[in-house]
């Protein structure tokens, strides 16, 4: 899918016309297939095998568990730090060829982020719904790059805060906080005026964790990036042990590489790809939090109450709000889990999420019409069908909620990834 997407953007991604997608051997055209294209590509870009995102599921698999296909990033997608490489200026064809042939891991990361920037910008210009929940810190990095506020030396002079790390990865931050206790204890000793220098050194050398009695040296750390030992935090870092005397430098370098130095190349590549459509600096009118909502809002913020659905859904061809099948359908929608909501939206609209503004902002509005039956069949024998280009659901007049739910689930499972004439 990604290879096809690279080709599509290479050929048509820079045109000023609106990009619309059709699939081979399928009859569907228009808004629905196009929205699903953006949805599928967004999902493919979150595959763990790409190795470009921070991944909470890394190392969580065992011999008895199923492989994890997508990255675990509940707080949002943020680039996986890697060694700094200069972002090459390439066409989409060069990007595609280098990604799918023999590019190094760092080159593949650059190529993919150039593509992601191009993809996001094209979706934004064409007013498409994207399902790429980039982390707020990523958009903050894009702002810093576009405003040139980060030092040119790989951004290493930028200041970081514990709050930034906490928002990105609480568990990772806790591990650094654990090391910070050694730094705090050391600083308290050096602040004592009643100790001689020799006494201070002796006290510092004896600092241990109050619970485990472990010293910093017992942790066997070196100056490489946690989770990616191929990245050295300083020249020769793999051979430099972390000790009580340099642990404060280690914490600072880990934070700098995680937030700035290790991702500046990816951010620059994203901005370069984005600039192929329009200047990324134009995004400065939005805050990072607002950009997060545009490209992947919190699923918990969507209003799926019966009141909201009843007030926004359009009805026609034999249905009204008092029709039993309509009431059952609204009850079904309200009962959906987050995963079921995404399946419903992907099946009905082509996108797994609602636009900003929820059901009220769907254009055209979600519409429910009666699907007629023909003798000798009865409504319960039919599956519902949809027209994603017009957000239209054709619903048979089912006799019970249980049958409606069964038929709906069957329709979604059998027809979610193809477009045909109904």
Cα separation of 46 and 268, whole Å?
19
Write the CB contacts of 117 (distance below 8 Å, at least 6 apart in sequence): 269, 270, 271, 272, 273, 274, 275, 276, 280
Neighbours of 175 (CB within 10 A): 12
How many angstroms from the chain centroid is the CA of residue 265?
A: 18
Q: How far is CA 34 from the centre of its chain?
A: 20
Name the residue among 390, 395, 365 with its Cα closest to residue 380.
395
Angle at 69 between CA 300 and CA 7, to 5 degrees: 95
> How many Cβ atoms are within 10 Å of 332's Cβ, its own excluded?
16
DSSP characters over 293-349: HHHS--GGGS---HHHHHHH-EEESS--TTSHHHHHHHHHHHH--HHHHHHHHHHHH
Contact 288, 267 (CB under 8 A): no
Long-range contacts of 317-323 (CB under 8 A, 24+ apart): 317/369, 317/370, 318/369, 318/370, 319/368, 319/369, 319/370, 319/395, 323/397
Active site residues: 389
User: Dihedrals φ, ψ of 222, to 5°?
Assistant: -135, 180
99 phi, psi to nearest 5 deg? -75, -40
Q: How far is CA 173 from CA 69, 128, 168, in A?
A: 25, 35, 8
Find out whether 295 and 349 touch, Cβ atoms under 8 Å: no
CA distance 170 to 290: 22
As beta bridge partners, residue 148 has none
Half-sphere exposure of 105 (CA within 13 A, CB side): 13
């Amino acid at each position: 899918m990604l290879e096809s997407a690279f080709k599509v953007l290479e050929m048509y991604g820079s045109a000023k016309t609106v990009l619309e997608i059709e699939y081979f051997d399928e009859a569907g055209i228009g808004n629905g297939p196009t929205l699903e294209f953006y949805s599928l590509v967004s999902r493919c870009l979150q595959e763990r095998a790409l190795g470009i995102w921070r991944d909470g599921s890394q190392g969580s698999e065992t011999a008895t568990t199923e492989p994890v296909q997508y990255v675990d990033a509940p707080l949002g997608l943020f680039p996986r730090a890697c060694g700094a490489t200069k972002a090459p200026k390439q066409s989409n064809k060069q990007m595609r060829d280098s990604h799918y042939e023999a590019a190094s891991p760092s080159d593949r990361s650059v190529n993919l982020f150039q593509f992601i920037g191009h993809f996001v910008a094209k979706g934004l210009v064409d007013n498409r719904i994207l399902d790429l929940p980039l982390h707020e810190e990523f958009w903050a990095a894009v702002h810093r790059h576009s405003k040139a506020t980060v030092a040119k030396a790989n951004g290493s002079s930028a200041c970081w805060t514990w709050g930034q790390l906490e928002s990105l990865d609480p568990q990772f931050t806790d591990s650094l906080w654990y090391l910070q206790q050694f730094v705090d204890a050391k600083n308290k000793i050096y602040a004592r005026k009643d100790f001689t220098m020799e006494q201070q050194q002796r006290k510092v050398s004896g600092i241990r964790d109050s619970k485990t009695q472990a010293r910093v040296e017992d942790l066997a750390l070196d100056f490489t990036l946690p989770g990616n030992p191929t990245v050295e935090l300083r020249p020769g870092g793999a051979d430099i042990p972390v000790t009580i005397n340099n642990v404060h430098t280690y914490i600072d370098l880990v934070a700098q590489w995680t937030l700035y130095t290790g991702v500046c190349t990816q951010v620059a590549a994203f901005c370069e790809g984005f600039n192929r459509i329009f200047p990324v600096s134009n995004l400065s009118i939005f805050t990072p939090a607002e950009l997060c909502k545009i490209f992947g809002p919190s699923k918990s913020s969507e209003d799926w109450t019966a009141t909201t659905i009843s007030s926004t859904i359009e009805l026609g061809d034999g249905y009204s709000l008092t029709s039993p099948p309509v009431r059952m359908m609204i009850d079904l929608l309200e009962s959906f889990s987050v995963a079921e909501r995404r399946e419903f939206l992907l099946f009905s609209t082509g996108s797994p999420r609602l636009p900003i503004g929820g059901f009220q902002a769907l254009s055209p509005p979600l519409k429910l019409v009666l699907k007629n039956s023909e003798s000798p069949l009865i409504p319960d024998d039919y599956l519902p069908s949809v027209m994603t280009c017009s957000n239209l659901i054709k619903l048979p007049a089912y006799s019970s909620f249980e049958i409606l739910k069964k038929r709906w689930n069957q329709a979604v499972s059998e027809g979610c990834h193809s477009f045909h004439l109904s």
